[in-house]
Amino acid sequence: MTEAEQAAGAAVGGRDGETAAVERRGRRIPMLLAVTAFVYLLDLGSKLLVVAKLEDHDPVELIGTWLRLRVLRNRGAAFGFGEAMTIVFTLVAAAVIVVVIRLARRLYSAPWAIALGLLLGGALGNLTDRVFRSPGGLQGGVVDFIAAESFAVFNIADSAICCGCVLLVFLSFRGVEADGTVRKD
């Protein structure tokens, strides 16, 4: 780090030059919101289309029996686990949303914005189903429709949540923080 960078870092509350440079790039909240909106709208639109066109019909084979579209209403978590705990999963989704919103205040990293946008969009997508789909009262069944052979039936929101979690784990192993700094352990 050059002396000019150190001086610039010291001028910004005594932080090092790397942190000051990250903050000058600006927060990544617009990126977080764009990814969230994209995932949410893609999930919502796909669920509306699938329910309108495929519910109460035979599965549609996309790649033989390996990948099909098959509509299920899942009141539990992934793999149909915990169907009697629908309200708990609803509260967990709401908690994820609150945590992501709190993290957004110190979000200067583009990869973190993408990961958190995937999580937030997915959580909002499934929470929308829990609130507005039958039977309602925070116990609605999530619309799942992507059926991979010998695997679970899932949706776009589930995929986004999984991808966001994988990206967050990767970023954590690499030492990338939400504020854009990199730990040097």
Whether 129 is catalytic: no
Low-confidence ranges of the chain (pLDDT < 70): 1-25, 77-84
Burial 50-76 (b: 16+ CB within 10 A, else e): beeeeeeeeeeeeeeeeebbbbbebbb
Burial 138-152 (b: 16+ CB within 10 A, else e): bbbbbbbbbbeeeee
Residue type, 12: V
**Residues sharing a CB contact under 8 Å with residue 65, sequence separation 6 or more, in sequence order:** 149
Q: What is the pLDDT of residues 27-52, one digit of tens each?
A: 899 999 999 999 999 999 999 999 99
Whether 58 is catalytic: no
Report pLDDT for 3: 45
Report pLDDT for 7: 41
Report pLDDT for 34: 98
Report pLDDT for 123: 92
Report pLDDT for 91: 85
Residue type, 58: D
**Residues sharing a CB contact under 8 Å with residue 171, sequence separation 6 or more, in sequence order:** 109, 111, 112, 115
Report pLDDT for 90: 80
Q: What's the pTM?
A: 0.81
Report pLDDT for 139: 76
Q: What's the rounded Cα separation, in Å, for the pair 8 and 171?
A: 27
**Annotated active-site residue in 129, 158, 179, 185:** 158
**Annotated active-site residue in 58, 144, 179, 185:** 144
